[in-house]
């Protein structure tokens, strides 16, 4: 149950649910390698990066928090490359994505990400802006550096309202 009408109910962030939109970057299951004489586990190459024509860069975003219910008024996408968000100092944060429908975002889905979960949006995936919940937060962003217009915004005529799921 993810809501009806203009209400979007948050879902847990899982790799399976998120796969059409991108990658969940998290240390779950068995590591791919054990390194450093057993002192570290490597979960290898967990994001489908795409910098088509540009190059990879690492930037930091320092974001002020939002609260739920959250009025979603705009979705954006980056037509030229993927964009990954790695939380450095976060409590929970909100990940909003939408399928593309003929060049416009379709009905959004909202996921609540844990402080130890990053995400990578695939190239041209509609998504909400960075929305930490409750506390200001710092994120490392791995995205495309290069020429060209890599930002497309879609403002909604009627906002959606993103809410916590109802308790069973």
Nearest distance in Å: CB 168, a second copy: 30
Q: Is the dihedral of CA 65, 113, 49, 40 positive or negative?
A: positive
Q: Is 60 helix (H, G, I), strand (E, B) or coil?
A: strand
Q: Tally Cβ neighbours within 10 Å of residue 131.
A: 21
Q: Between 73 and 102, how does the x/- string for binding to a second copy read (CB under 8 A)?
A: -----------x-xxxx-------------
- Segment 109 to 168, residues that bind a second copy, using CB under 8 A: 115-116, 118, 120, 129-130, 138, 140-142, 145
- Under the binding rule (CB under 8 A), the answer on residue 72 touching a second copy is no
Query: Is there binding between residue 15 and a second copy (CB under 8 A)?
Result: no
Q: Which is nearer to a second copy, 5 or 29 (CB)?
A: 29
Place of tokens 């590591």: 31
Q: Give 3 or 122: the residue with its C-beta nearer to a second copy.
A: 122
Q: Is beta strand 118-121 parallel, antiparallel or unpaired with respect to 109-113?
A: unpaired
Shortest approach of a second copy to residue 5 CB, angstroms?
25
Residue 85 phi, psi dihedral angles, 5° rounding: -120, 125
20 contacts: CB under 8 Å, gap ≥ 6: 99
Nearer to a second copy, 19 or 88 (CB): 88
**Site membership for a second copy, residue 63 (CB under 8 A):** yes
**Separation of alpha carbons 25 and 45, rounded Å:** 9
Give the integer Cα–Cα distance in Å for 10 and 16.
15
Name the residues that contact a second copy, by CB under 8 A. Answer: 25-27, 31, 35-47, 49, 51, 55-64, 66, 84, 86-89, 115-116, 118, 120, 129-130, 138, 140-142, 145
């Amino acid at each position: 149950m993810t809501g009806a009408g203009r209400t979007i109910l948050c879902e847990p962030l899982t790799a399976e649910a998120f796969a059409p939109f991108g990658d969940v970057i998290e240390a779950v299951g068995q590591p791919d390698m054990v390194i450093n004489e057993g002192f570290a586990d490597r979960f290898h190459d967990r994001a489908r990066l795409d910098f088509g024509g540009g190059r990879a860069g690492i930037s930091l975003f320092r974001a002020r928090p939002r609260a739920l219910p959250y009025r979603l008024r705009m979705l954006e996408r980056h037509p030229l490359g993927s964009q990954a968000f790695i939380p450095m100092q976060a409590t929970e944060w909100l990940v909003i994505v939408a399928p593309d429908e003929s060049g416009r975002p379709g009905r959004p889905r909202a996921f609540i990400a844990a402080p130890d979960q990053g995400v990578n949006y695939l190239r041209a995936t509609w998504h909400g802006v960075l929305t930490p919940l409750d506390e200001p937060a710092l994120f490392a962003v791995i995205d495309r550096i290069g020429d060209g217009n890599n930002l497309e915004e879609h403002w909604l005529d009627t906002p959606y309202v993103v809410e916590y799921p109802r308790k069973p």
